[in-house]
Structure 1
Amino acid sequence: MDLPRQFLIREGDLRILNPFSPAKLADLGRVLKLTPGTTLVDFCSGRGEMLCTWARDYGITGVGVDISTTWVSEATQRATELGVSVEFRHGDAATFVSPDKSDIAACIGATWIGDGIEGTIKIIQRSLKPGGMLLIGEPYWRLDPPDQETVTACHMAAKDDLRDLPGLVAHFGDLGYDVVEMMLSNQDDWDRYEAAHWLNIRRWLDANPTDPLHAEMRAELDTAPVSHVRYQRDYLGWGVFALIER
């Protein structure tokens, strides 16, 4: 059980694996009023930057789980580098249940583990203390996509796969949760994230001309920049939403 290599190539050395700046990640911890001893379980924790930097800056503790053996190893190294007491485990986030209930349960940019928001909330809720907080990172339509071409270019199968921002916030309410905070990405956050992929892919292509994935990654780089500026940059939004059950 591991992550396909394409993801590792694309993400390269990025520490935050979503269109979110380090400043916004830090600001999110601040506005959530994190305090020393707060516990967090991070589902699909990636390279562990949220858990590690929040442990450093706000004194939280916790555990992250991810399907990538590479990212779990790098997250563990990051925790050692920052001198923080957090743990990372390799595993399937969809089936993980923390033995100790946490103050916060997070799934940032990976609601595919539950086939959408509702299913993901059910998964991560199992590791949450009563009255605790959920963090969900999720895309939404910034603008109404005019055609299927735009929808497909934004990596969606159908327009209804995403909601607009008011619809997304209302959906959290329909599921029985108050939205108590949010932090939204802007177009510059998207540019920094997506353009970093292009450089990572190009460097990898130059260094690995005979790799079996070379043609696939070359085709991605041929189309990704234009697709981003033509479709994703204007139409696709993303944010992290803090929820408490009503």
Structure 2
Amino acid sequence: MDIPRIFTVSESAHRIHNPITADKLATLGAALRMEAGARVLDLGSGSGEMLCTWARDHGIGGTGIDMSPLFTAQAHRRAVALGVADRVTFVHGDAAGHVAAAPVDVAACVGATWIGGGVAGTVALLERSLRAGGIILIGEPFWRRLPPSEAVAKGCLAGAIADFLLLPDLLASFGRLGFDVVEMVLADQDGWDRYEAAKWLTMRRWLDAHPDDAFAPEVRATLTAEPVRYATFTREHLGWGVFALMRR
């Protein structure tokens, strides 16, 4: 069980696998006003930076589930490095359908709503693990401005314009699901640049170290195309944020 190899190559040096910076992640943790001992479930936990830093900074505990064995191993190492391995657990597995054994205070899926078939399905999945009065965290892209054509949407790596909403429409959609939006932290341009541009050096160094790997042509093609694609499409049109929800 694994994610596509291009991600484990291009994001192998990332600690955060979405366009949010460490400062923004810390801002989100503080904004949630979690008490020491709170339990957090993170579906699609990547390299574990959210759980590990929040365990260090706020005394929370929790579990992360991720399909990537590489990222899960990195999460284990990060927990040890930050001295929180006794409070957070990381499991290599499929987060789709995962429900916590006991209700949690915060149930999160930050940047992987495909596990529930979209935002609505992922919110419903997370709610199955949530205690009454708990908080759901959803990380999701939105259009900063609507693409002028389907071709531009595809340039942003969306399947179609309809894949994402404008920010006001995304916020309204949470209300239609029966939730109050109680916080949000949005990625800024620097967060996007750090997430995307950091991949390029990682891919170049991988290519230099693995010139004869059968996967090298795909990595080379990605590295060649990505800077211009990102600057032309994603950087201009796509936003991203984490939204905190509570059941009405």
Q: So what's the TM-score if we normalise by structure 1?
A: 0.98
Q: In 1, distance between residues paired with 2:215 and 2:155?
A: 21
After TM superposition, give the deviation of residue 12 of structure 1 in Å: 2.0
Letter of the aligned partner of 1:41 in structure 2? L
Q: In 2, distance between residues paired with 1:72 and 1:219?
A: 27
In the TM superposition, what whole-angstrom CA distance separates every residue of 1:116-168 from its partner, at most 9, and x where no partner exists?
00011111111111121000000000011011221001111111110000000
How do 1:137-216 and structure 2 match up within 5 A?
137-216=139-218
How do 1:32-51 and structure 2 match up within 5 A?
32-51=32-51
Residue number in structure 2 paired with 1:116: 118
For these two proteins, the number of residue pairs brought into alignment is: 246
Aligned match for 1:234, one of 227, 232, 236: 236
Letter of the aligned partner of 1:136 in structure 2? I
Does residue 58 (structure 1) correspond to residue 58 (structure 2)? The answer is yes
Does residue 71 (structure 1) correspond to residue 100 (structure 2)? The answer is no
After TM superposition, give the deviation of residue 74 of structure 1 in Å: 1.4
Q: Which runs of 5+ in 1 are unaligned?
A: none
Q: In 2, distance between residues paired with 1:125 and 1:24?
A: 24
CA root-mean-square deviation: 0.8
Q: In 2, distance between residues paired with 1:103 and 1:112?
A: 22
After TM superposition, give the deviation of residue 4 of structure 1 in Å: 2.4
Q: In 2, distance between residues paired with 1:8 and 1:16?
A: 13
Letter of the aligned partner of 1:120 in structure 2? T
Q: In 1, distance between residues paired with 2:100 and 2:9?
A: 30
Q: So what's the TM-score if we normalise by structure 2?
A: 0.97
Following TM superposition, the consecutive aligned residue runs of length 4 or more in structure 1 with deviations greater than 4 angstroms are none
After TM superposition, give the deviation of residue 3 of structure 1 in Å: 2.0
Q: In percent, how many aligned pairs have the same letter?
A: 52
In the TM superposition, what whole-angstrom CA distance separates every residue of 1:97-125 from its partner, at most 9, and x where no partner exists?
11011000000000000110001111111
Tell me the secondary structure at the aligned position of residue 35 of structure 2: coil
